[in-house]
């Protein structure tokens, strides 16, 4: 048995926060376990938790969970402070049912999200608690002095180079994704076509960057692919640049940012990760195909995109990078506006870690409320290799030390419905994520102390 079960949606994004929450729950005298959202059913029945932390309010089993345990929503998406995106996440639509009203607590990213949720009556005001999100606890780690003269680049490819395969069947994707409503990446009437156009223009820019900046100016470039991307295709750039360009997907983004001097990106929240660490950020906005950007939905043009350095040519881009290497480029030409926006959206800087705020809130809640009567979730009927996993895994004794192997084994045996990965190729990915999370969480705890 355990007190709190943390359900993980995306291991790249949520593993470190989960480790942090577990650490501070332990300080409150509470036990904590993790599971993938794909194996939540079996984990709940095996561990019988008093409370469950979920990454979103749209999980179909919440209606059953709420009868058996307390449910806390720790939203995995910030919505970047935008009303439409936040409401789409919490309110849902005819194709996406949410259970925000039934949740016992919603932990808000920051002041903007708190106001939006309360003003739109997403849940009772006392249920919405502004704690910050543990995803941003990594910002407490002190940056190291940069003398590496390395240009970092983060990408946002979700279609043409995605390991998640959202368009494996283009006919199905075009018909179904565009029926999901506001808040998704494929919004009708033409957003799927628009996103292809944008990504292809990004690929064209990368090709020009390789030829004119990396090869032409002998600049070392490290590409940090989006978590859902396949990194191996970037090997081509490594080959044609003689090793001056490489893709780095291992480790946390905190560790990666420690080694770069300037970040180049567009439509990536990594810009915020860099700014809070004192790294200058150069936007590709004026270098991308203007026709592609003109077709993008208005909510993609986030306010902070206009507060970054925006070179109009690759020559200007190269000059800004050189200034960054020399320590002569400010992190942003609009520092005051940017830092205020970060506080409003992400409640940072804050007095202490969000994970600590959440753990204490949960401890107070559980200490005050009478536990809900436990009963097993209704049996499911898995097929094939999933059936083996569901029969075997519930009988493996749970312990904190066995967790790392158990979590990896669950992903090893159970087909991931998103990536479609089965078998040994998936095992090292999960294992590496867990080891990185353990290492990074310790650094954050030490920095906060």
Question: Would you state the structure tokens that stand for residue 21, as one six-digit string?
Answer: 């929450």
Q: Give domain limits for the chain.
A: 4-132+350-448, 140-346
* Distance, CA of 290 to CA of 313 (rounded, Å): 13
Q: Residue 332: which of 284, 279, 286, 287 has the closest Cα?
A: 279
Question: For position 14, what pLDDT does the model report?
Answer: 86
Paired residues of 53 in beta bridges: 6, 72
Integer Cα distance of 19 and 161 in angstroms: 30
Share of the chain above pLDDT 90, in %: 50
| 94 dihedral zone (left: phi>0; alpha: psi -120 to 50; beta) | alpha
Q: Does domain 140-346 have CATH number 3.40.50?
A: yes
Residue 320 has pLDDT above 90, yes or no: yes
Whose tokens are 């993980």? That residue is: 8
Longest dimension (CA), the chain: 67
Q: Is the pLDDT of residue 40 over 90?
A: no
CATH fold match for the domains 4-132+350-448 and 140-346: yes
- Nearest C-alpha neighbor of 202 from the set 273, 137, 288, 264: 288
The first and second tokens of residue 444, run together, are 């954050």
189 prior amide bond cis, ω within 30: yes
How many residues in total does the chain contain? Answer: 449
CA dihedral 325, 331, 332, 335 (to 10 degrees): -160
Q: What is the CATH number of domain 4-132+350-448?
A: 3.40.50
- The pTM assigned to this predicted structure is 0.83
Please answer whether residues 174 and 192 qualify as being in contact, where contact means their C-beta atoms are separated by less than 8 angstroms: yes
**Which residue, 445, 409, 439, is CA-closest to 427?**
409
pLDDT digits (tens, 9 = 90+) for 234-259: 999 999 999 999 999 887 888 899 89
Average pLDDT value for residue range 1-15: 85
Q: What is the pLDDT of residues 188-215, one digit of tens each?
A: 566 677 878 888 999 999 999 999 999 9
């Amino acid at each position: 048995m355990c007190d709190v079960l943390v359900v993980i949606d995306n291991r790249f994004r949520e593993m470190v926060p989960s480790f942090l929450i577990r650490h501070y729950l332990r300080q409150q005298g509470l036990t904590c376990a993790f599971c993938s959202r794909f194996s939540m059913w079996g984990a709940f029945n095996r561990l019988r938790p008093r409370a469950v932390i979920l990454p979103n309010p749209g999980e179909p089993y919440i209606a059953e969970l709420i009868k058996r345990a307390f449910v806390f929503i720790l939203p995995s998406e910030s919505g970047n402070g935008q009303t439409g995106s936040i409401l789409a996440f919490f309110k849902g639509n005819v194709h996406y049912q949410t259970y925000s009203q039934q949740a016992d607590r919603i932990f808000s990213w920051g002041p903007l999200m708190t106001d939006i949720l309360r003003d739109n009556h997403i849940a009772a005001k006392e249920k919405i608690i502004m704690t910050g999100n543990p995803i941003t606890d990594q910002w407490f780690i002190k940056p190291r002095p940069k003398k590496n003269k390395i240009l970092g680049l983060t990408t946002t490819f979700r279609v043409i180079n995605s390991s998640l395969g959202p368009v494996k069947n283009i006919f199905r994707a075009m018909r179904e994704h565009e029926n999901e409503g506001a808040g998704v990446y494929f919004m009708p009437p033409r957003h799927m076509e628009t996103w292809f156009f944008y990504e292809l223009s990004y690929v064209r820019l990368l090709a020009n960057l390789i030829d004119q900046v990396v090869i032409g100016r002998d600049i070392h470039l490290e590409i940090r692919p989006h978590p859902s991307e396949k990194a191996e295709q970037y090997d081509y750039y490594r080959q044609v640049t003689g090793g001056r360009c490489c893709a780095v997907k291992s480790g946390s983004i905190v560790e990666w940012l420690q080694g770069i001097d300037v970040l180049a990106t567009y439509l990536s929240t990594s810009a915020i990760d860099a700014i809070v660490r004192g790294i200058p950020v150069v936007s590709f906005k004026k270098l991308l195909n203007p026709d592609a950007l003109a077709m993008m939905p208005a909510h993609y043009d986030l306010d902070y995109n206009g507060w970054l350095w925006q070179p109009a040519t690759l020559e200007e881009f190269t000059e800004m990078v050189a200034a960054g290497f020399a320590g002569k480029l400010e992190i942003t030409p609009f520092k005051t506006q940017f830092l205020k926006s970060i506080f409003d959206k992400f409640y940072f800087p804050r007095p202490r870690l969000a994970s600590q705020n959440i753990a204490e809130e949960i401890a107070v809640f559980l200490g005050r409320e009478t536990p809900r009567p436990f009963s097993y979730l209704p049996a499911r009927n898995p097929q094939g290799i999933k059936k083996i996993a569901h029969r075997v895994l519930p009988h493996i004794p749970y312990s904190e030390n066995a967790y790392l192997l158990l979590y990896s084994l669950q992903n090893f045996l159970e087909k991931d419905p998103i990536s479609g990965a089965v078998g040994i190729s998936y095992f090292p990915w999960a294992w590496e994520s867990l080891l990185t999370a353990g290492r990074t969480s310790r650094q954050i705890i030490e920095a906060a102390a």
